[in-house]
Structure 1
Amino acid sequence: MIPEQQILRAQRQIHHVAAMMDEAARLDDVAARLMAVQRHWSAPDRPLHLMAALQASRTVWDGIQAALAAGTLPMPPDVQHNLLILSVYADSKIDMCESTPDADTLGSLIALTRTLAGSLKEWREAA
């Protein structure tokens, strides 16, 4: 392999790993925002904070879907497929939290978000 090709290949791999870490960091941030709302569930301004946190969550999950569509997440096709299913499931949880706010439903969205963030970090370490 020509040295220039090796450099380009390494740069692409670094870019893909960075993309996964960006998504993991975004998911961690969103999970923290959602957990803050859950901790202060009885607060009078909860509806405002909940809607902001859910919108941030939707933005991150939509970003994951866009990255999958663009092919910028370097994962095997079956993992990409599973990630797409998770993102659609997360969308449904966000919709449920918006239409009928419930601490338990929010808790399941938090768990899903945190689990995926951890999985992306593990994926990076394995790469």
Structure 2
Amino acid sequence: MIPEHQIQQAQRHIHHADVMMDEAAQLDDIAAQLMAVQRHWTDPSRPLRLMAALEASRGVWHAIQAGLAEGTLALPLDVQHNLLILSVYADSKIGLCEATPDVDTLGSLIALTRTLAGSLKEWREAA
């Protein structure tokens, strides 16, 4: 293999790993925002804080979907497929939280978000 080709492949691999870490960090931040809303559910500012956290969450999940569509997330095909399914599921949970805010529904979105953030970190470390 040509050394320049190896360097280019390594740089692409590092870039894809960085993208995954960015998404994982964003998901961690979103989970923290959602957990703060859940902890202070009776706070009068909850509706505004919840909507802001849900909008941010939707933005990250849509960025993941865009990354999958554009091929910028270098993951095995089965992982990409599962990630797409999770992102669509998360989007439905976000919509449900918007339509009928509920602590339990929010809790399931938090769990999904934290689990995926952890999985992306593990994937980065394994890469």
TM-score (norm: length of structure 1): 0.99
Q: Deviations over 1:58-80 (max 9, x none)?
A: 00000000000000111111110
1:5 aligns with 2:5: yes
What letter matches 1:90 in structure 2?
Answer: A
Q: Which runs of 5+ in 1 are unaligned?
A: none
Q: Deviations over 1:80-110 (max 9, x none)?
A: 0000000000001000000000000000000
Residue in 1 that maps onto 2:16:
16
Residue in 1 that maps onto 2:111:
111
- RMSD value over aligned CA atoms? 0.5
Tell me how far apart the structure 2 counterparts of residues 63 and 100 of structure 1 sit (CA, whole Å). Answer: 24
Tell me how far apart the structure 2 counterparts of residues 2 and 96 of structure 1 sit (CA, whole Å). Answer: 52
> Structure 1 residue 6: deviation in Å?
1.1
Q: Which runs of 5+ in 2 are unaligned?
A: none
Q: What is the aligned length?
A: 127
Tell me how far apart the structure 2 counterparts of residues 9 and 101 of structure 1 sit (CA, whole Å). Answer: 46
TM-score (norm: length of structure 2): 0.99
Q: Deviations over 1:2-54 (max 9, x none)?
A: 11111111100100100100110010010000001001000001000000000
| 1:7-46 alignment runs, 5 A limit | 7-46=7-46
Tell me how far apart the structure 2 counterparts of residues 87 and 3 of structure 1 sit (CA, whole Å). Answer: 38
Tell me how far apart the structure 2 counterparts of residues 124 and 67 of structure 1 sit (CA, whole Å). Answer: 16
